[in-house]
A = this chain, B = another copy of it.
Amino acid sequence: MTAAQGEGQLKYQRIADALKAAIASGEYGPGDRLPGENELMVTYQVARMTARQALGVLRSEGIAEARKGAGVFVRTFQLRRRRGIQRLARDRWAAGHSVWDADLEAGHELVVDSLTVREEAVSDRHTQTLGLSPGSRAVVRTRRFVVNEKPVLLAVSHLPASLAAGTAIAEEDSGPGGIYARLAELGHGPARFREEIRCRMPTTAEARQLRLSSGTPVVLICRTAYTAEGRAVEVNEMTLDASSYILEYDFNA
């Protein structure tokens, strides 16, 4: 016998299933160390690459994560709730609260880790949504948010330079209530939002920036802010660690 298990069960799949069952039964809890490659080789009498492939199943399903030199561990999840609609209520930012305060949770504060503001030519993808002419410029605010040192979210916000350049929006500290409060002061306060949500596996760059362990997808939220007149004044593209977030939308029938 080499391949072809006859039993209709692949070796690595059998091992993976056994490990999953042991986790489901509580034999291994979050953070616990699983049997390593060497141990699986002995107990199941398989080659290294087979034991490895079994553990690979758990990793690619996001159930386990490997730490080099240490072992393979059951992953721990700490979900963060993001209230999609309440967080953007006019009352909030008009009163000087940050939109991000809605994500506050005791002991797990959301903190800006890095922030850059620059002005650049608007990308093709945004010219249409922002209703700009090609070649015009945009103010771009890039931020990374961390919780307990762990990065969980990247946000890149685009605004027409014709609106934002020279205002507090183009400053690192955009002031109380953030850019929405500033836009309102300029007579372009957002009245309506659209959030588009997609989900996929991360690029290697995203995995690095968010320090994602393999088997963790990213959630992409693209939010467009519109004035009451229907003009798009901001496009905010966010990239979230999917294992850190649960998104919530409340609305009426």
Residues of A in contact with B (beta carbons under 8 Å apart): 49, 60-62, 79, 84-85, 88-90, 180, 189-204, 214-217, 219, 242-243, 245-253
Contacts and interface: CB of A to CB of B under 8 A. Distances in A.
Give the 5 A-B CB pairs with smallest separation, nearest first: A217-B217, A197-B247, A199-B242, A90-B253, A199-B199
Contacts of A180: 253
Given A60-B60, A62-B200, A201-B62, A84 B217 contact: no
A112 to B, nearest CB: 22
Contact of A217 (B85, B194, B197, B242): B242
Given A242-B217, A248-B194, A201 B85 contact: no
Contact of A60 (B88, B189, B198, B201): B201
A252 B193 CA distance: 6
Contacts of A85: 249, 251
A201 B61 CA distance: 5
Nearest to A192: B252
9 contacts: A60-B60, A61-B203, A88-B253, A191-B252, A192-B250, A195-B249, A197-B246, A197-B248, A200-B217
A131 to B, nearest CB: 17
A195 to B, nearest CB: 5
